Amino acid sequence: MSDARIIGAGMVPFGKWVSKTSESIAQKAILDAIADAEIDRSAIGEAFCGTSYGGPLAGQRALRDLGMTGMAITNVENACSSGASGVREAVSAVESGRAEIALVFGVEKLTKFGGGTLPLEATDIDVSQGMVMPASYAMRAQRYLMKYGARPEHLAMVTVKARKMAADNPYAQFRSPVTVEQVLQARMIADPLTLLMCCPTGDGAAAVVIANSRRARQLSRRSIRIKASVAQSGKFETGAHDISQSELTMRTVALAYEQASVGPNDINVAEVHDAFTIAELMYYEAFGFCEEGAASSLVESGQTTIGGRIPVNPSGGLLCRGHPVGATGIAQIIECVWQLRGDAKARQVEGCKIALTHCTGGGVSGLDHGACLIHVLGR
């Protein structure tokens, strides 16, 4: 169990911030997190910045204009898990005693690419053949549907559920309701995934302030404990293997449950990496929220919406909030901080005591995914 606690959280609504620089997007989130922590910026001993497409020294560029340079600033790149990887580094920093209080922020400005799929590393052999992220999940979806007899309607239900919950989240981009039919009839991206089964990108930033438990208790009466902070990478696998299950996420969550001394039945709310709807179904099973092959029944039952047995992505997830890559992992954590504090307003999950956040991603030939980060949070 970690000794770190979150004492402040701030983020900007995700969307298309075309006229803003990535630095200014990040600065707004950082100042909100510091204000939420009710500390002076001088109390921060170390800072981490998670970004995948933000370029060299993104952390220094954002903090410079806030007069927050001089301390150690470390930039963390781990594709879709960059922000969450930064959180894990900040946890280490406060646990080791290197800093009493650390700042972590994730930022991304993806409108600079002008739309389309995320640019991947051109030297990767799969990418050179035409691999794109939607196709990698589409092939998982094809195997999943074949293996477990699920239908494209189940892939659509994940979006319908996400939109329903995002309606109450002012930080999400897509908040209008959609029907299963609308999702199925949307433009095809990589079959069987339609446009509405794929998360949008966008611009955004999210920041948290983390302190060791002693300082956290002095400073705040509503700090949130980081009960587990776990990272793993995909194992290199070049032969035949089953892609309808995520070995990486299963392995990471087992470590997270162990570190936090909890099990799947203890989780009251989860924010998971629904970059594509098939992913959310696979992760229900990986987390043990249902048996293998039962995810389609679980989403259909409504048990993963607010008011259900295990609400997943009350924020609307990546599907509705959007996925400014480096900011996503921290945005997930902030949603859970709000849920645990009881500050989530209309989308509040009642009786929320333990929350799980999960992000994974990155397309590397031969790997399930590049990185997977799971955090377990509690009051």
Partner 1 sequence: MRPAGPHDARDSSRSTWTRRNGQVVLLGTQCPQCGNLAFPGRDFCDRCLTEMSNNSVEIRPTGVVYSCSSVHVAPAGFKVPYQIGYVDLSSGVRVLAQLQGGASKARLAPGDAVTADAGQIRTEPDGTKVESYVFRVMKDESQ
Distance (Å) of CA 295 to CA 134, 217, 256 = 20, 40, 21
By C-beta, is 31 or 139 nearer to partner 1?
139
Nearest to 325 by CA among 257, 264, 275: 275
By C-beta, is 55 or 119 nearer to partner 1?
119
Choose, by CB under 8 A, the member of 188, 214, 217, 345 that binds partner 1. Answer: 188
Verify binding: residue 122, partner 1, rule CB under 8 A: yes
Verify binding: residue 114, partner 1, rule CB under 8 A: no
Q: How far is the CB of 142 from partner 1 (least distance, A)?
A: 5
Count of C-beta atoms within a 10 Å radius of residue 266: 14
Choose, by CB under 8 A, the member of 190, 211, 228, 269 that binds partner 1. Answer: 190
Nearest to 60 by CA among 18, 105, 101, 92: 105
| d(C-alpha 182, C-alpha 186), whole Å | 6
By C-beta, is 16 or 143 nearer to partner 1?
143
Phi/psi of residue 36, nearest 5 degrees: -65, -35
Task: Write out the binding residues for partner 1, residues 345-374 only, by CB under 8 A.
Answer: 365
Retrieve residue 103's tokens. 């700042």
| d(C-alpha 138, C-alpha 334), whole Å | 29
Q: Which of 49, 80, 290, 352 is catalytic?
A: 80
Please answer whether residues 162 and 197 qualify as being in contact, where contact means their C-beta atoms are separated by less than 8 angstroms.
no
By C-beta, is 8 or 192 nearer to partner 1?
192
Choose, by CB under 8 A, the member of 124, 266, 292, 300 that binds partner 1. Answer: 124
DSSP secondary structure code for residue 349 in this structure: P
| d(C-alpha 311, C-alpha 307), whole Å | 7
Verify binding: residue 275, partner 1, rule CB under 8 A: no
Choose, by CB under 8 A, the member of 130, 170, 307, 351 that binds partner 1. Answer: 130
Residue 80 annotated in active site: yes
Choose, by CB under 8 A, the member of 13, 28, 74, 126 that binds partner 1. Answer: 126
Task: Pick the stretch among 56-64, 133-141, 222-230, 313-321 that binds partner 1 (CB under 8 A).
Answer: 133-141
| d(C-alpha 73, C-alpha 288), whole Å | 37
Please answer whether residues 175 and 163 qualify as being in contact, where contact means their C-beta atoms are separated by less than 8 angstroms.
yes
Q: How far is the CB of 244 from partner 1 (least distance, A)?
A: 9
Verify binding: residue 18, partner 1, rule CB under 8 A: no
Query: Would you list the DSSP string of 284-336?
Result: HHHHTSS-TT-HHHHHHHTTTSTTSSS-B-TT-HHHHH---HHHHHHHHHHHH
Choose, by CB under 8 A, the member of 21, 128, 179, 265 that binds partner 1. Answer: 128
Choose, by CB under 8 A, the member of 43, 66, 71, 139 that binds partner 1. Answer: 139
Q: How far is the CB of 50 from partner 1 (least distance, A)?
A: 25
Q: Which residue ranges make up the site for partner 1 (CB under 8 A)?
A: 116-117, 119, 122-126, 128-132, 134-135, 138-140, 142-143, 146, 187-193, 236, 238-241, 243, 365
Tell me the catalytic residues. 80
